Chain A
Amino acid sequence: MARMKFLCDADRCIECNACVTACKNENEVPWGINRRRVVTINDGKPGERSVSMACMHCTDAPCQAVCPVDAFYTTADAVVLHSKDICIGCGYCFYACPFGAPQYPRVGNFGSRGKMDKCTYCGGGPEQDSTMAEYEKYGANRLAEGKLPLCAEMCSTKSLLAGDGDIIAQIYKERVVKRGYGSGAWGWKTAYRETITS
């Protein structure tokens, strides 16, 4: 089995937001929820850099650990998914998540956040694969069709990579060697307790 990961090569991200749009469209993500977003650090200043961020599908995921009702599960591909039938919308996963991935349909006053929504690595949820019930709650299940997440597939500069961790790390390493510089795999140390050294 593969160990699925995301890798954002921040040296190539041009903040076009195609990944955000692709995700919203492919998964019919409700208004107000962004499973993926692009954030620009030092926007408009020297040293500006953009990073596309979503759920990193952490090793030993903090959201899964803190969930008081055990709504999360990790698939054989190491994709972190959750059940909206079990979620009580307490918001704890958002406090634990190092990447701000969990999203809620409502503001949250008086504990009424609604069921949590987050990036599924285009892998659906606990429902039967590729069913309408799964699509309505979790969006597309491209993994079941043998496809990778659409955000990375759509990336115009191939900044965002998705796939088996070893393979995308290898691609990134080769890139760094060839062009002579690289700012590292953003979030990898926090998510997977490892960095890519080239």
Chain B
Amino acid sequence: MTKLFSKLRIVLAALMLLALAAFSYPVAAQQQPSSVNPQADSVNEQQLLQQFKTIQGRGSIPDTKSYTIEQPAGRDWRHFHEVTLRWIGAVAILGVLAVLIIFYLSRGMVRIESGRSGHTIVRFNAAERFVHWMTATCFIILALSGLNITFGKPLLLPLMSPEAFTAWSEWAKYAHNYLSFPFTLGVILIFFMWIAGNIPNRVDVEWFKRGGGMVGHDHPPAERFNGGQKAVYWIVVLGGTAAAVSGYALIFPFYGTDIENMQSATMVHGIIAMLFIAAMLGHIYIGTIGMEGAFEAMGEGTVDINWAKEHHALWLEQERARAESNPSQRQPAATPGE
């Protein structure tokens, strides 16, 4: 009996299933042809990208950066970093180097025409020289470690093992980050220390008109800082400020900045740095092999009287006038000033 019942139950169940399927089929069939898109009003990828450039939403983790799920601009940034910046850097730096080499070969070192007098005058005191060399040392390390990020992979990596290149690059990165602080301090000190002598005036116009004495054997008069030096001063102050501001945005990533700001910061930082390096090559040239008697100014702090007469005639007059009015000082002013 129990066997019969269980068989009957199976048959009954099968019949019920069939009936169910028969009833439900027309419903399913009705859904098929005129399918309604329940997502018709939902956001669309291409629309969002056209409208906002990035696709952002809300996530469930604390990292708000992760709420941006797509930012195709990363591809443009890559092009800048891998192509544009390398071109800017190569043209600026190699261009300036080429000009300097051609200039040196054709003009040679600018000599002190009247020869050395043997008498010197203080040009930069110890504090000024300390600030200059602190900033300069930091700048050179910052420049090399920065160039490593842009040019290290194609130029340096093929010469060493990947592990060695990583070790060097990591140290370079830390040096770059931490030396930014003394560098920035140096730029600030330079700004206040030399601002008085670096306001452009009519003397500079005349100086530039006469080519700054670099071409031919002309010696246009100049005050403590000539037009070219004032240009270097403002490149350092403005370029240094721009590099510092963009650099600190990078050193504190995503502090009130978004991905777009961070990309812009690296772009500004890179372009400013390349132009800054190119300009400083010119400064280093004229301060060393470009001109006789120039390095002493920042080296020992004193320059030959004849050098001062040829290159900074107005400054020498001012210093002498001051020395006469203040006879207690043997040397014409220990702190040449403004």
Contacts and interface: CB of A to CB of B under 8 A. Distances in A.
A42 B47 CA distance: 14
B131 to A, nearest CB: 24
A85 B166 contact: yes
B59 A183 contact: no
B69 A68 contact: no
B230 interface: no
A95 B157 contact: no
Nearest to B177: A111
Interface string A156-191: 000000000000000000000001110110110110
A38 B60 contact: yes
Interface residues of B, number: 59
Contacts of A11: 39, 42
B35 interface: yes
Contacts of B46: 184, 189
A53 B65 CA distance: 13
B22 to A, nearest CB: 23
Given A95-B262, A110-B251, A86 B162 contact: yes
A46 to B, nearest CB: 6
Interface stretch (A96-104, A130-138, A139-147): A96-104
B67 A95 contact: no
Contact of B81 (A17, A40, A47, A96): A96
Given A62-B74, A99-B69, A189-B46, 16 more contacts: A34-B63, A42-B57, A48-B42, A49-B42, A53-B70, A65-B82, A91-B253, A95-B259, A96-B81, A99-B71, A113-B253, A181-B37, A181-B39, A184-B46, A186-B70, A190-B72
8 contacts: A39-B67, A49-B39, A53-B70, A65-B82, A95-B263, A96-B78, A97-B74, A100-B68
